[in-house]
């Protein structure tokens, strides 16, 4: 980190500032110019509040040279992280996975039918929401504990590990049989929740917030990793823009950019990104071409009657077609 001091800063002021940096365990390199003094700070600067520093009278500007995320940073961990969900199911480092299932678990029949169908098409993980973050309090909120029990039943029947969203850390004891815990877009910056998930020994699927930058996504991953849980899978699910034809705007450049910045696996959710079932296939193929480590796709046995997100849900037949097309892309880009 570099701090440029204002012209006219006294030696006494410099001494007090450098003394404070030294207390934070940093090494300081001072370079004195004719008009300005520049401080180069070496060491772990992640705890330094750049805005606070910039607000000091004697400071003209501050620039970070390295990113504020350490654990997630590829610079300190050049090889890809491979998240092992089960010995034979890994994500990252060349391992690509399809995660599929309904937006919400609605009934025993529904989840079992969808699970069997997506498994037959090649999905290795089953998704399904039991606790649903709905915009309206009057909409279907999920089957909650009963939904989790139905997911367990589908897991038993198909052998597929399950991925489902947590909204409240107090529900954690209900998630014992859950294989991958999802943090939804709306909770990406629920820092208390992230911190608690850092202590959990299960992979976390962290979705990008509706209006969050990649740096913010990585800082949220950092919250989980700082607690000791390094099994974080990042998910690009579209962000809010001025466009209204699609539910969100899929930021596909996030995939190669995140691969540069972090060693964590990156998957794409073309369902929430577009909100329209017929756009899921082209976006899924594009995500695979862009280097995603997997896809999470909503599939429903009867989309027009879905209790949540029917417009973006694929039928099992459509999902089967998507898997085949994506596999052709993967072969072509490998």
- The answer to whether 103 contacts ligand PEP (rule: CB under 6 A) is yes
* Nearest one of 172, 174, 126 to 151, comparing CA atoms: 126
- The answer to whether 280 contacts Mn ion (rule: CB under 5 A) is no
Q: Which is nearer to ligand PEP, 53 or 185 (CB)?
A: 185
- The answer to whether 163 contacts Mn ion (rule: CB under 5 A) is no
Contact 288, 282 (CB under 8 A): no
Interface pattern 125-164 for ligand PEP (x via CB under 6 A): ----x---x-------------------------------
Residues paired with 40 in a beta bridge: 2, 29
- The answer to whether 280 contacts ligand PEP (rule: CB under 6 A) is no
CB of 227 to Mn ion, least distance (A): 27
- The answer to whether 300 contacts ligand PEP (rule: CB under 6 A) is no
163's contact among Mn ion, ligand PEP, none, with CB below 5 to 8 A by partner kind, is: none
- The answer to whether 222 contacts Mn ion (rule: CB under 5 A) is no
Q: Which is nearer to ligand PEP, 74 or 186 (CB)?
A: 186
* Nearest one of 268, 281, 290, 286 to 312, comparing CA atoms: 281
- The answer to whether 103 contacts Mn ion (rule: CB under 5 A) is yes
* 3-state SS assignment for residue 98: strand
* Nearest one of 251, 235, 255 to 243, comparing CA atoms: 251
CB of 97 to Mn ion, least distance (A): 19
Q: Which is nearer to ligand PEP, 90 or 207 (CB)?
A: 207
CB of 146 to ligand PEP, least distance (A): 17
Angle at the Cα of 287 from the Cα atoms of 283 and 291, rounded to 5 degrees: 170
Print burial letters for 56-73: b (CB count within 10 Å at least 16), e (below 16).
Answer: eebbeebeeeebbbebbb
Q: Which is nearer to Mn ion, 98 or 223 (CB)?
A: 98
CB-CB neighbours of 189 under 10 Å: 16
CB of 305 to Mn ion, least distance (A): 15
237's contact among ligand PEP, Mn ion, none, with CB below 5 to 8 A by partner kind, is: ligand PEP
133's contact among ligand PEP, Mn ion, none, with CB below 5 to 8 A by partner kind, is: ligand PEP
Which residue do the tokens 């410099």 mark?
14
Print burial letters for 76-111: b (CB count within 10 Å at least 16), e (below 16).
Answer: eeeebbebebeeebbbbeebbbbbbbbbbbbeeebb
Residue choice 92, 101, 184, 270 for contact with ligand PEP (CB under 6 A): 184
Residues paired with 122 in a beta bridge: none
Q: Which is nearer to ligand PEP, 269 or 293 (CB)?
A: 269
* 3-state SS assignment for residue 28: strand
Q: Which is nearer to Mn ion, 118 or 225 (CB)?
A: 118
For the segment 204-243, give every residue that binds ligand PEP (CB under 6 A): 207, 237
- The answer to whether 309 contacts Mn ion (rule: CB under 5 A) is yes
Contact 164, 151 (CB under 8 A): yes
Question: Distance between CA atoms of 333 and 293, rounded to whole angstroms?
Answer: 13
- The answer to whether 247 contacts ligand PEP (rule: CB under 6 A) is no
Q: Please report, as ranges, the residues that interact with Mn ion according to CB under 5 A.
A: 103, 309
Binding site for ligand PEP (CB under 6 A): 103, 129, 133, 184-186, 207, 237, 269, 272
């Amino acid at each position: 980190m570099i701090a440029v001091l204002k012209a006219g800063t006294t030696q006494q002021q410099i001494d007090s500032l450098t003394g404070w940096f030294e207390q934070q365990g940093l090494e300081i390199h001072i370079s004195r110019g004719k008009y300005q003094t520049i401080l180069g700070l070496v060491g772990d600067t992640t705890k330094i509040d750049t805005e606070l520093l910039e607000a000091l009278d004697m400071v003209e500007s501050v620039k970070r040279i390295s990113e504020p995320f350490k654990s997630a940073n590829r610079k300190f961990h050049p090889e890809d992280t491979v998240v092992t969900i089960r010995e034979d199911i890994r994500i990252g480092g060349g391992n690509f996975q399809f995660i599929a299932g309904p937006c919400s678990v609605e009934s025993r029949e529904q989840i079992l039918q969808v699970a069997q169908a997506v498994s037959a098409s090649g999905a290795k993980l089953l998704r399904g929401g039991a606790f649903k973050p709905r915009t309206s309090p009057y909409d279907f909120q999920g089957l909650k504990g009963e939904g989790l029990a139905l997911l367990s039943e589908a897991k038993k029947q198909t052998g597929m590990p399950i991925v489902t969203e947590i909204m409240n850390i107090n529900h954690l004891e209900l998630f014992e049989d859950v294989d991958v815990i999802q943090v939804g877009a709306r909770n990406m910056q629920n820092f208390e929740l992230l911190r608690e998930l850092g202590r959990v020994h299960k992979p976390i699927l962290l979705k990008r917030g509706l209006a969050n930058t990649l740096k913010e996504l990585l800082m949220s991953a950092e919250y989980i990793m700082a607690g000791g849980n390094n099994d974080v899978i990042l998910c690009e699910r579209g962000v809010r823009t001025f466009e209204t034809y699609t539910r969100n705007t899929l930021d596909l450049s996030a995939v190669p950019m995140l691969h540069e910045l972090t060693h964590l696996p990156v998957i794409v959710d073309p369902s929430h990104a577009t909100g329209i079932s017929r756009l899921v296939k082209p976006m899924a193929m594009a995500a695979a071409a862009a280097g995603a480590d997997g896809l999470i796709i909503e599939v429903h046995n009867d989309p027009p009657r879905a209790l949540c997100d029917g417009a973006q849900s694929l039928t099992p037949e459509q999902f089967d077609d998507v898997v085949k097309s994506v596999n052709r892309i993967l072969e072509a880009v490998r």
